[in-house]
Chain A
Amino acid sequence: MADDPVRALLQMNTDQTEEDDSALVLSDEEVESDSEGQHRNLLDAITSLDKKSRIKGKVIQRSEPSLQVSPFDISSGDNGGSRVHLNDLVGSLRNTNQFSKVKTQIRKMQGRQKVMEAPLVKPQAQRIERSLAYKAAKKEVSRWTPIVRQNRQAAQLVFPLHQEPVSLPTTDSMVKTFKPSTDLEREIFEVLHGSKFAERRDHELTEAEEEALRAMSLDEAFSRRKELQKMRALQSYYAAKCAREKKIKSKKYHRIKKRSRVQAEKLAIEELHKTNPELAQEEIRKAEKLHAEERASLRHRNTGKWARSKMVMAKFDDEARQAVQEQLDKSRELTNQIRALQQDSSSDEDQGEEEEEENGKDGEAVTMETVVDDDKNPWMKSALKINSKSNQKDDPPVQEEEQPKTDDNDDEKPEEETTEENGTTEQQSLKDNKESKEQKEVITAENVAKKKRRRRSKKKKEGENGAEEEKGDWSEVLKEEKKTGKKRKRRGKKTEVDAKKSRPDGDVMERGTDEAGEVQDFDDDETMLEEGLERRKTLEEVESAAKRPDTKTNSPQRPKADSPTNPSLQKQREIVKEVHINPDKFFTIQPSKLRSSVPTYLDVDDNIDMIDFDQQRENIEEAFANDDVVSEFVEEKRKAEEAGKPKDIDLFMPGWGNWGGVGVKVDPKKRTRFRKKAPPPKPRLDWGLHHVIINEDKDEKLKTHQVRQLPKGFGSVTEFERSIRAPLGKDWNTPSAVAKLTEPKVVTRAGTIIQPISGEETFKKGKAKKMDMEGMDEGGKTDRRNRGRRDNKK
C-alpha cells in the first residue's frame, strides 16, 4: 500500500510534465535502454548502498520465486527500518527552487495522511464484536451476582421481595420528639430539666447537693487540706523508701529480709491465735492455700527455664548442681509435708479399723479414702492411698505385685532373659529403699544417677538390652508412687496387656478417684481378679501369697491365664477365685448411719422378741449370703468378658507335613504355629466397675431408626451428630426460638402479586441499603460488604 502513492505520483509526473522533468524522463530512458552490464552496475551500486549487506560482505541470493522478496533486495516494507519513504525519493527537491508545483502537491499529500483502513475480514470482525458484546453483557449481569448470592444464602426470603418497611413509633422516638404543649406539661418539663434539684446524667450529685457541699466552713476546709497534704507527703516518703530498698541487689540482704518477714508473720499468727483464733485460722488457711498453689505449680521443679539451663551446666559446675538440688529438695519438702501428716492420720484410721473388725460388726467395706478428712481432693487421695497401703502391708506384698510385671516382660521378650537378673536386683534394691524410709530420697537420687549411667552404657551396647532401662524406668515410677496408666504407657513397647489397659486419661483419673481402696491399678481384668485374691486378711493367706510369686518366677514362660492349652492350671485358678473374693471391692463406699426410727410391729404381741429375731436373722443372712452372691456375680462377669473376647483361630490340620493317624503325637510347636492370634479385645464399658456388667451387644432394633451412612455434606460423624443435638420443638424452646429454628426458607404473602425481580427496583439509588436484611449468617455479611464495594465504585 505504501507503493501506491509513489506510483500515482510517478504517473502524474509523466502525464503532466513531460518536457520539464528531464531527470525523471532520463531515468525512464535509462530503464528502457538498459543493457545487461549497465543493469548489473546499477545493482551493484544499489547493493553497496545497503549497509547491512556491506558489512556482511555477501548478497543473499534467493532462488525461489516469491512475491514478498524483491529481486532488487528492496524489502517490501515488512522490515520497518529499511522501508523506502517518499522523502527518500523526492527529498532532494527540498533544496531546489524548481518544481514548486510538485512540491506543493507533495506537501498536500503529506498533510492528509489519514487513510481509512480496509475493513477487517468478516469472521475477525464478528469475533471482536462478540467479545465486546460479551463484556457489556457481563457487566450488566454481574451486577446481579451479589443479589443472587444473597438471596440464595439468605436465611429466609419473603416474597414479594420489595416491601415498604412498616414501623410503629417507639417510646424512644416519642420521647425525643416530645414538646410540652399544655401548661401543666410545660411546668413539669421545667422541673425535670431546668431545676438544680434534678438528677444529672453524668454526675453523682445534683447541683444543689454539690452547692451544699461546697458551702463548708473555711476552717474545716483548711484542716482538711492540711490533712491531705500530710498524707501525700507520707506516701511519697514511703514510696521513695520502697524504691530504694528495691534497688538493693544483694541477694543475701533480700533473703535475710524475707526470713525476718516470715518470722514476723509466724509470730503474728501465734499472737493472733491467742487473741483471735478465728482470724488466725483464716491466716493459716491462707498460708495453706499458698502452699497448695506452690504445689500445684511447677515452680520448684526441674522443668523451668532456669533449672534446665542449670542442669546443662550441672555437669561441670558444682554450684549449679547444688542449686538445682536445692530447688528439688524444696519442692520435695513442699509436696511431702502434708502427706506425712496424712500418713499419721491414716495409720490412726488403721488402728480404728482394726478395732472395728474386732467388733465384727461394721468391718465390711471400710476403706481408706472415705475416712480421710481431705477426701475432696482426689489427687491427695491417690498419694494417700499408697501411703496407707505401704503402712498396711509390709514388703512382701509389694514385691509380689512387682513380680508379675517382670513376668509379663519376660513373656514378650524371652531373648532378654539375661537382663532379667539385673532387673530383679533392681527390685531388690527398691525393696531396700522402702525399708529405709529416711534414706529414701538419697537413694532416689542414686537411682537417677544409676539410670543415667546405664543409659550411657546402653549407647555403647547399641540397644542390646532395652529392657534394663525400661525396668529402671519402671522402678522409678514405682518410687514416684504415681501409678497412673499414663505413666505406664511410657514403658517402651506396648504389650498386649498394655493395649488392653491403655485407656483415655480421663478414665485413669476416674479410676484413681473412684476405686476406693484399690491401691494398685489393674493391668487388665484378669489381674484385677488376682488382685482381689491377693488381698488378704488372715496370716495364712498372706503366707500363701508370699509363696505364689516364687512359683511364677521359677517358670518364666508361664502361659497366659486365658490360654486354653493349660486347662488344669486354669481350673485351679478358678477354684482359688471362688474361694477368696473380697466384697470390699464391690461395696467400696463406707456406709454412713442414718438416724432412722425403728419400726414397731403391732401385729405381734411381743415386739421386742420379734425385732431381735429379725435382726438376728438379718445378721446371719449378711454373714453368709455375702460371699456367695458376690462370687456368683464375679463368675458371671468373667463369663461375659470371655464371651466378648475375640477368639483365636486354629488353622492346624492334623497330618499336614507330618505323619498323622491314631497314636501319633502332634508337635505342640506346630500346633501353636498355625494358631491365628485374635486381636486384643476392646476395652469393656464396665471396665473398672466391679459391681457392674454392661451388655455390649448392639441394639439391633435401634439400628432401624439410626442413620446408616453419614449424610452428604458432613465431614465427620461427630459433626453430624452435633448438628442434630438440639431439640427444635416447643416443649424445649421458647416460642420465638421455635419460630426462628423452624423458619421456612421461603415465605409468600397471601394475596400479593409476586413480580419477577426487576433491575429498576433493585438498583434504584439508595435502594441497596434498604435491601439489607438483618443478616444472621456470614453470607449476609459478605454480601453487604460486596454491595458496599460496588457502591463505592459508583
Chain B
Amino acid sequence: MADEEDRIGKLKGKQTKRAPRYFDDSSAEASTKDKHENEKTSERKSEGKKKKSGKKRAPAPDSDHVDRKRGKEAWDSDEEKDPFPGEAPVKEETLARYTRGEENKIKIRAKTAGPKLERKAMEKKFHLAAKQAARAELLLGEDHGYLEPSDDEDTSQLSQTDIADAVDISAAQKHFDLKLDQFGPYRMNYTRNGRFLVMAGKRGHVAALDWMSKKLLCEINVMEGVHDVKWLHVETMFAVAQQRWTYIYDHQGVELHCLKKFNNVLKMEFLPYHFLLATASSTGFLQYLDVSLGKELVAINAKQGCLNVMTQNPQNAVVHLGHANGTVTLWSPNVKEPLAKLLSHVTAVRSIAIDKTGTYMATSGQDRYMKVFDIRALKPLQVYRMSAGAGHLAFSQTGLVAAALGNVVEVYKDCCSSVAEKPYLTHRLRNNISGLQFCPYEDVLGVGHQDGFTSLLIPGAGEANFDAFENNPYQTKKQRRDYEVKMLLEKIQPEMIGLDPGGVGQVSQLTAQEVEKRDQEAIQKKFEPAKKKKGRSKSLKTVQRTKGVEEEWRRMKVRQKMKEQEEQRKKKQKDQQKKEKWGSALDRFQRKDN
C-alpha cells in the first residue's frame, strides 16, 4: 500500500510556463472576444460557485423579446392600450423543437361530447406545454463556445499548454497528467455528472477519485488483470471486469459482489435508466445484469466470436457491438438475434461511438476509415480516410468527435452533418491510447494510456446548461441519496428497450387484429350437416342434426366454463386458507398490542 500512497503524491496539476499567445499583440477587442471563448472552456457552469463578471453572456438577444419594450410606455403613457397586446410570440423553430409528434385533429359535433372534449383540451395543453418549454429556453443562457481562429490561424496547432495558459486558473487545473507507468495501460470512466473518475490499469491498479479536487476515493490493486471499469448509477459503486470474473466495488474499494456468471468480460456498458450492466465477453456472450435486483437478465450468444468493441446508444439503450467481419450489430436484451446488422467496414471494426441524441454513430475500422452513420435511418453520412485506424472514438455532449490514432488524440468538429477537413484539436502522447471519454458537463477529454491518465482541455466539449434533476455536477450527499431513490422509482423495465424508444406507446396492432379475427371466426362458425343419402338429408333431419350438434357445442362450452370457475374457486379457497394460516403480508406492519 505504501507504493500506492506514493503514487497519490504524483497527482498534480501540470505546471507550465506562459507561452506567447497568438492574440497577445492583437487589439483589445479581439482579446476580449477570445477571452470569452477561452473562459468558456474553463469555468462554465459555476452556477453553484461565484461567477465572474462579463464572462457569462447576457441572455441571447431573442428577436421577439427585443420587440417587447413595453415597460416605459406602460408607465408614462396616459393611454391604457398595450402596443404589444397578448403574450410574447414564440419562434416557430424553437417551438418545433419542443413539439412532439403530430397533433390529433379532433372534430366535435355534439355539444355533449365528453371524452372528445377532454382530449381536445389535452391537445391544447400539449401545445401550451411546448410553448412554455420553448419560452423557458431563455433560461439556458450559457453557451458552450469554441475556439475561433482568425483567418491565418489553425486551432489544431494549439497545444494544451497554450489553452491552459489562456484560461483562468481553475480551468487550467483541469488539464493534468497522472503518471502511472507501472500498471498501465489504463481504462477509465467518468460518472454521469462528470464529477468522479474511476480508472483501472491493465495490471490490476484500480483508483477512484474526485478528479476536480484530486481527492482520492479509493485505490486498490485487484491483483489480477483488468479489462474494463465502469461506474454504476451513483458514485458509490463501480464494476470492474477482471481477468476471470466481474466484480463490483464500492467507493472505498470494498468488494461488494463477485459476479461469477460474468466471466471473461472485455467491455462493459451501464444503462442508467434501466439499471442494467451490459457486458461483452471474449467467449462471445453479451450479458445483462440488472443492478437493482442483482440478477442476470439474459445472456445472449452473439455468435460472432470475441466481443471487444461495445457501446450503447444513450437514446434507446440499444447496445452496439463491433465485430471482426466489419459488421456492427444492435442488441436489446429482449431479442436473441440482433435488432439490426450493419456492414460498416470491410475489415474488423475497432471502435464505435454514439452521440447523446442517438442520431450519429461513428465507427472506425482497421481499414483506416472512420464512418459516420445516421443510426435512425441506418444510412452512412460521412466517410473519412484517416492516417491510421482509430482505436477509440468518443462523442462529446456537443457533438465533437475524439479519435485515438495510436498515440495521437484528435478532436473533430462538425464532422457528422458536414465534411470536416482537419482536426479541431490534436494532442500527441508518448504511448498508445487505451481509453477515451469526454467528461460530461466539462470541457475536458480524459485519455487513458500506457503511462497513466491525461486530462485534456477541449473548449466547447461540454454541455453548458445542465439539468440538476437529471445530472447534477454539484450534487451533495443528500441529493445523491434522493436521486438514487428517484432513479430506482423511475426505473425503466428492460422489456422496453428497442430500436424505437416510443414502442411502448404503440398499440400492438397485430394482436388486436388477431383478436378481431378470432371473434369473427367464432361468430361465423356454424355446423354444416353433410349430405346424406336415402332420405336422411331431408330438411327436417338436417335441422334436427344441426340442432343436436350445436346443442352439444353449447354444452361443451358451458362445461368448460364451469370447469374454469371450479378451478378458480379452488384456487381462491386455497389462497384463503393460506391467508388464514399466515395472515396478510401487510400484517407485519400492524401494531402488536391490539
Contact = CB atoms under 8 A, between A and B. Distances in A.
Contacts of B104: 719, 722-723
A776 B508 CA distance: 33
Contact of B406 (A198, A599, A621, A709): A599
B431 interface: yes
Contacts of A719: 104
Nearest to B112: A149
B387 A598 contact: yes
Contacts of B590: none
Interface in A178-199: 192-193, 198-199
Contact of A594 (B132, B334, B421): B421
A149 B124 contact: no
Interface string A580-601: 0001001111111111111111
A153 interface: yes
B90 interface: no
A706 interface: yes
Given A599-B406, A599-B408, A705-B493, A618 B108 contact: no
B133 A734 contact: yes
Contact of B380 (A589, A693, A701): A589
A330 to B, nearest CB: 38
Given A695-B337, A733-B133, A622 B378 contact: no
Nearest to B420: A594
A586 B385 CA distance: 16
B510 interface: yes
A692 B381 contact: no
B511 A703 contact: yes
B361 to A, nearest CB: 12
Contacts of B379: 514, 689
Given A597-B405, A602-B407, A625-B346, A693 B423 contact: no
A629 B346 contact: yes
A494 interface: no
Nearest to B514: A708
B100 A699 contact: no
A543 interface: no
Interface in A685-720: 686, 689, 691-695, 697-710, 713, 717, 719-720
A779 interface: yes
In the complex, which range does the number of interface residues on chain B fall in? 35 or more
Interface stretch (A95-103, A116-124, A451-459, A735-743): A735-743
Interface string B231-252: 0000000000000000000000
A691 B343 contact: yes
B335 A592 contact: no
A777 B115 CA distance: 12
Interface stretch (A440-448, A481-489, A724-732): A724-732
B129 A594 contact: no
B30 interface: no
B325 interface: yes
Contacts of A602: 407, 430-431
A708 B383 contact: no
Given A726-B126, A782-B111, A694 B339 contact: yes
A153 B347 contact: no
A695 B496 contact: no
B275 interface: no
A603 B450 CA distance: 11
B385 to A, nearest CB: 5
Interface string B323-346: 001110000101101111111101
Nearest to A704: B495
A705 B504 contact: yes
Contacts of B136: 734
Contacts of B496: 702, 705
In this complex, which of A586, A734, A741 has the most chain B Cβ atoms within 10 angstroms of its Cβ?
A734
B114 A153 contact: yes
Contacts of B447: none
A365 interface: yes
Contacts of B108: 778
Contacts of A528: none
Contacts, number: 272
A736 B132 contact: yes
B509 A733 contact: no
A733 B132 contact: yes
Interface string B93-104: 000000011111
A779 B117 CA distance: 7
B503 interface: yes
Contacts of B384: 591-594
B469 A730 contact: yes
B332 A699 contact: yes
A737 B367 contact: no
B270 interface: no
Contacts of A161: none
A175 B129 contact: no
A609 interface: no
Contacts of A591: 369, 383-385
Interface residues of A, number: 92
A621 B347 contact: yes
B257 interface: no
Interface string A211-224: 00000000000000
Contacts of B339: 694-695
B522 interface: no
Nearest to B73: A201
Contacts of B117: 153, 777-779
A721 interface: yes
Contact of B387 (A596, A698, A705): A596
Given A706-B504, A724-B505, A725-B505, A599 B388 contact: yes
Interface string B121-138: 110111011101101100
A626 interface: yes
A691 B408 contact: no
Contacts of A201: 73, 77-79
B334 A702 contact: yes
Contacts of B368: 618
A530 B370 CA distance: 30
B80 interface: yes
In this complex, which of A603, A691, A705 has the most chain B Cβ atoms within 10 angstroms of its Cβ?
A691
Contact of B129 (A365, A618, A733): A733
B421 A595 contact: yes
A622 B347 CA distance: 7
B418 to A, nearest CB: 10
A738 B132 CA distance: 10
B504 A597 contact: no
B543 interface: no
B428 interface: yes
A530 B429 CA distance: 50
A496 interface: no
A573 to B, nearest CB: 22
Interface in B500-558: 502-512, 515
A710 B512 contact: yes
Contacts of B406: 599-601
A633 B340 CA distance: 13
A23 B326 CA distance: 139
Nearest to A176: B80
Contacts of B133: 732-734, 737
B323 to A, nearest CB: 10
B539 to A, nearest CB: 33
Given A589-B381, A633-B343, A697-B335, A741 B129 contact: yes
Given A149-B112, A629-B325, A733-B133, A601 B407 contact: yes
13 contacts: A175-B74, A587-B346, A597-B387, A597-B423, A598-B388, A599-B432, A600-B428, A621-B367, A629-B343, A630-B346, A705-B495, A709-B507, A713-B116
Closest 3 CB pairs of A and B: A599-B406, A737-B129, A725-B101
Given A155-B121, A694-B340, 17 more contacts: A153-B117, A193-B78, A199-B76, A583-B346, A592-B382, A593-B421, A602-B407, A618-B366, A630-B346, A702-B498, A702-B503, A702-B508, A722-B103, A725-B102, A725-B126, A725-B502, A731-B469
